[in-house]
Structure 1
Amino acid sequence: MADFHIQHRLGESRAAVIENFRLVEMHIARDGDGLSAGARLPGRLATKLGTRGIAQAAGEELLVEPWPAGATEGATVTLEVTRAAWRERGRDRLAKARPSNLDPWPAPTLESQLHARGHVLKPGWPADVAGQWEDAFEAAQLGRLPFESGSLVLVPTPAFLAVDVDGHGLALATPALKALARAIRLWGLGGSIVVDLPTADRDQRTQAAEAFDRAMGKLPFERTAINGFGLVQIVRPRPGPSILERAQLDRAGTEAVQLLETALADPGTAPMRLSAPPPAIRWLEARPHLLEELARRTHRDVSLTSGTANVQA
C-alpha cells in the first residue's frame, strides 16, 4: 500500500504514487488522449482485415482483434478498449479493442485505478511531491536516468524501447537492471524493451537477471536471458503511452498545458495573449474549450500567437 496525490490542471490530470517519501509512479491523463484501456462502448465495424479489422467508436478509429465471430462490416458491437492510442516517431498507433459481451462502461479514472490497488489518496500536491515530479519528468524528457555507478539512456522507437547503459566496469549490469526496474514502474514503461548491457561473465549475468526479477516485484513481465553480448529483452503490458513517450513525443501538449498554468497564475486583468511555439499553439487551437475555460476562470479575453512561451497582457 502507498499514498498518492492527484493534481487536476487545465488540460491534464497528474497522479503521483509515493512510498517512503519517494516518488515511485507517475501517471498522466491529458486532454485529447481519446479512449483509454478499460472502457467498454458501442463501436461500428468498418473494415475487416482477415482475423482483425478497424472499427469506429466515439469519433476514434480502433484496431479490433479478434474480429467478432459472424459480424459483418457496418455492424454495431460492444468493444472493450485494451490499449489506448499513442504517438510514435513518424506515426500514430491506433487504440486496440476486443469484442465484449458485457454492458458499456466508462474507463476507470486515475483515482479509481489507484484506489483499486489499495493506495490511499492524500490531499493536495505538496512541494516535495512537485519537486520530485519535475525532476523525474525532466529526466524523461532527456531520456536519461542516473543511478549510483552510471546512467540509463532510453530511446523510444516504433519497434521497441532501446535502453543503453552509460558507465564502466563489469559489475555494472546489476545496478543498471535495478535502475531499469525503478524506471519501468516510475514511468510506466511497457511493450518490448531491449537493453544493451556491458559484457559480463555468466555468473554476473545470472546475478544481474535475478536482481532485476526481485526489483520488479509484482509488476508483470517476461524476459529473455542475458546473452553473451549483454542483450536482454523484456516484454510488458502496454495499455497506453508511458511518461517517457509523453515527455519526448508530445512536447507540444506539455508546453501547452504549462502555458495554461502560467496564464491561470497571471495576476493581470487586461486581455491576455498566450505566446508559444507553433506546435503548442496548434495543440491549443484544437482544444478551444480549454481556452474558454481559461477565459472563464480569469475573467479575461484570451488570444494566441506564435513565439517564445509566455503570457502577454
Structure 2
Amino acid sequence: MSDFHIRHGLGETRAAVIENFRLVEMHIARDGDGLAAGARLAGQLTRRLGARGIALAGGEELLVEPWPAGATEGATVTLEVTRAAWRERGRDRLAKARPTNLDPWPAPGLESQLHARGHVLKPGWPADVSSQWDDAFEAAQLGRLPFESGNLVLVPTPAFLAVDVDGHGLAMATPALTTLARAIRLWGLGGSIVVDLPTTDREQRSRAADAFDQAMGKLPFERTAINGFGLMQIVRPRPGPSILERAQLDRAGTEAIALLETALTDPATGPLALRPAPPVIRWLEARPQLLEELARRTHRPVSLTAGAADAQA
C-alpha cells in the first residue's frame, strides 16, 4: 500500500504515488482528454469496416472492435471504452471500444482509481513531491533516464516505444532493465516496447531478464527473451497516453497548462494579456472554459495574442 497526492490545477489534474518518500507513479488527466478507458456509454455505429467499425459516442469517434453481432450502421449500442485516444507523431489514434450489455457508467477518476488499488490519499501537494514531479516530467520531455553506468533513451514511435541503452560496459544490461522497469511504472508506459541492449553473453542476458521480471513486481506484462543481438520486446496494456507521450507529443498542452498556472499567480491588475505560441493558442481556444475560469479566478479580462512560435502542436 502506498500514499498518493492529488493536485487539481486549471485544466489538469495530477496524481503522484509515493513509496518510501520516492515518487513511483505519475498520473495526469487533462481537460479535453476525451473518453477514458472504463467508461460505458451509448454510441451510434456510423461505419462498418469488416469485423470492426467506427462509432460516434460522447462527441468523439471511436474504433469499435468487434462490430456488434447483428448490428447495422446507424444502430445505437452500449460501448465500453478500452483505450483512450492519444497523439502519435504524425497522427492521432482514435479511442477504442467494444460492445457491452452492461449499463452505461462513467469512467472512474484518478482519485477513485488509486483508492481502488488500495493507496491512501494524503492531503496537499508537498514541496518534495512537487520537486520530484518536475524532475521526472523534465526527464520524460528529454526522453532520457540515467542509471549507474549509462542512460536510457526513450523515443515513442507509431509502431512501438524504442528504448536504447546508451553507455559502456558489458554489465549494463541488468541496471538498464531495472531502471526501465522503474520508468514503466513511473510514466505508465504501455503497448509494445522494444529495448536495444549492448551485446553480451547468455548468462548476463539471463541475469538481466530475471532482474527485470523481479523489478516489474505485480505490473502486467509479457516479454521475449533477450536475443543474441541484445533485443527484447515487452508488451503491456495501454489504456491511454503515457506521461512520456504527453511530455514529448503534447508540448502545446504542457505549455498551455504552465501558462495558466503562471497567470493565476500574476499579482498585477488590469487586463491579462497572454502571448503564447500559435499551437498553444489553438489548444486554449479549443477549451474556452479554461480562459473563462481564469478570468473568474483572477477577476481580470483575459485575451490571447500570438507570441513566440516555438511550441509544437
Distance 1:173 1:26 in 2: 25
Correspondence for 2:238: 238
Q: Secondary structure at the match of 2:80?
A: strand
Amino acid at match of 2:41: L
How is 1:220-239 mapped onto 2 (pairs within 5 angstroms)?
Answer: 220-239=220-239
Correspondence for 1:37: 37
Correspondence for 2:101: 101
Correspondence for 1:205: 205
Correspondence for 2:164: 164
Q: Does 1:303 align with 2:291?
A: no
Distance 2:220 2:85 in 1: 21
Amino acid at match of 1:263: A
4+ aligned runs moved over 3 Å, structure 1: none
Amino acid at match of 2:46: A
Q: What is the Cα-based RMSD across aligned positions, in Å?
A: 0.7
TM-score (norm 1): 0.98
Q: Secondary structure at the match of 2:153?
A: strand
Distance 1:83 1:205 in 2: 33
Amino acid at match of 1:31: D
Deviations, residues 4-26 of structure 1 (Å, cap 9, x unaligned): 00000101100000000000000
- Gaps spanning 5+ residues in structure 1: where? none
Distance 2:201 2:155 in 1: 26
Distance 1:113 1:257 in 2: 23
Q: Does 1:187 align with 2:187?
A: yes
Correspondence for 1:142: 142
Q: Does 1:112 align with 2:97?
A: no
Distance 1:56 1:179 in 2: 40
Distance 1:81 1:279 in 2: 28
Correspondence for 2:6: 6
Correspondence for 2:294: 294
Distance 1:305 1:236 in 2: 42
How is 1:37-116 mapped onto 2 (pairs within 5 angstroms)?
Answer: 37-116=37-116
Shift of 1:88: 0.1
Correspondence for 2:276: 276
Q: Secondary structure at the match of 2:130?
A: helix
Correspondence for 2:131: 131
Q: Secondary structure at the match of 1:292?
A: helix
Distance 1:50 1:283 in 2: 35
**How many residues are matched?**
309
Deviations, residues 206-251 of structure 1 (Å, cap 9, x unaligned): 0000000000000000000000000000000000000000000000
Shift of 1:156: 0.1
Distance 2:276 2:139 in 1: 22
Amino acid at match of 1:107: A
Q: Secondary structure at the match of 1:136?
A: helix
Amino acid at match of 2:57: A
TM-score (norm 2): 0.98
Distance 1:269 1:24 in 2: 40
Deviations, residues 266-311 of structure 1 (Å, cap 9, x unaligned): 11121110111111111111111100000001100000111149xx
Q: Secondary structure at the match of 2:179?
A: helix
Q: Secondary structure at the match of 1:238?
A: coil
Q: Secondary structure at the match of 1:306?
A: coil
Shift of 1:157: 0.1
Deviations, residues 252-272 of structure 1 (Å, cap 9, x unaligned): 000001100000001112111
Distance 1:264 1:111 in 2: 24
Amino acid at match of 1:64: V
Deviations, residues 87-124 of structure 1 (Å, cap 9, x unaligned): 00000000000001000000000000000000000000
Correspondence for 1:19: 19
Distance 2:246 2:225 in 1: 30
Amino acid at match of 1:72: T
Distance 1:285 1:35 in 2: 20
Shift of 1:139: 0.2
